[in-house]
Amino acid sequence: MATNILMPALSPTMTEGTLSRWLKKEGDTVKSGDLIAEIETDKATMEVEAVDEGILGRIVVPEGSEGVKVNSPIAILVEEGEAVPDAVESAPAQKAAPAPETASQTAVQSAPAQVSAAPAQPQAAPVAASHGKRVFASPLARRIAAQKGIDLAALKGSGPNGRILRRDVENAKPVEAPATVTAGGSAPAEARRVPNSSMRKVIARRLSESKQNVPHFYVSVDIELDALLALRGQLNAASPSEGEGQFKISVNDMMIKAVALALRDCPGLNVQFTEAETLHFPDIDISMAVSIPDGLITPIIRQADRKTLREISEQARDLAKRARDGKLKPEEFQGGTFSISNMGMFGVREFAAIINPPQAGILAIAAGEKRAVVRGDQLAVATVMTATLSVDHRAVDGALGAKWLNALRDIVQNPYRLVI
């Protein structure tokens, strides 16, 4: 009996996505658990598993299609020897594997859906290049080309009939836009128009909502890092120089653990505010901001206060790499009870971060630098970092924010607790 394969919801807030790539082709046998497609959301690109078994009879939505609505048919699954219908009107729809973010989240509805027949290998819409030549490219390739400033007419497509695909654009180099010149001399180059990606739109919306709806207040403190840096040097010196046991601890790894311990000491910041109640969480799950090519994502170190520095280091590196590759699972970046944003590697002296709702706080970590400090009546030189806490004033009062920052400073300046 023919069934619909529907566009899955890979997160609770997802309403549409891009079908980046089919991992099966028409006529292929599909078994439960097989990876059938890659779906691109505003956060990452994820692989979708099949639930039912059968033959992939018809691909309804081609590769590169953007704005595909959740629960809309993307393909038709048939039984062995069954004719492929133009549409499935009443057969139950196949489910994609649900994303494990929450127990109540459902990847695909099982209600029947109307399916419009579509060619398995449709031609992409032509695009007019700056010099008038018409080229054929997938929608995803067009979007990436616009973001990178690449002239599609200058590329040779590797798809059917020379169609330009995503890989063709990703392997190409951007071309600088020529400056326009007037009779009076040179003029500024015309602005290159880059369409906002789904991720950039979501970031803009969420951060605007945060600043508009969440009453932020900010508390800053200077923290001496010399003891922490000395401990880091000892730990890394004790690590094997090569082989399976090798690991290197970063300052960011140590700050994640320190923040988690401070939240254990002052659990009043490990909360979320709602209109009816304030949620206090038993686990301390630290969201760490990771910059990716078109935005920002916050993979999570779960139960960070209970992990060793080595466990945090290994997990943080793995999550950051897969975040940049777009391979995070929804449960790896959705949730979290407190956030960290570290810009120390850019030499930033001080900054304030915007709260990541529904969390109640985020810590902005700046660069450590040599500064003059007063100890008793004497001047000394120390490596000092400015840390700024942004807090939701609806859930946390100023005195508690200051108390938490003092607890963090005490842990960092006396870092023995990070290793016991």
Active site residues: 393
For residues 141-155, one letter each, b for 16 or more C-beta atoms within 10 angstroms of the residue's C-beta and e for the rest, the string is bbbbbbbeebbbbeb
Burial 228-254 (b: 16+ CB within 10 A, else e): beebbeebeeeeeeeeeeebebbbbbb
Burial of residue 173, with CB atoms counted within 10 A of its CB: 0-12 exposed, 13-18 middle, 19 or more buried: exposed
* Dihedral sign of CA atoms 19, 38, 327, 360 in order: positive
Find out whether 166 and 143 touch, Cβ atoms under 8 Å: no
CA distance 42 to 159: 25
CA-wise closest residue to 408 among 275, 224, 217: 224
Tokens of 295: 């935005």
CB-CB neighbours of 79 under 10 Å: 12
One-letter amino acid for residue 259 of the chain: V
Amino acid code (one letter) for 310: R
**With contact defined as beta carbons under 8 Å apart, do 79 and 1 qualify?**
yes
Residue type (1 letter), 91: A
Burial class (CB in 10 A: 0-12, 13-18, 19+), 188: exposed
Nearest residue to 56 via CA among 33, 38, 74: 74
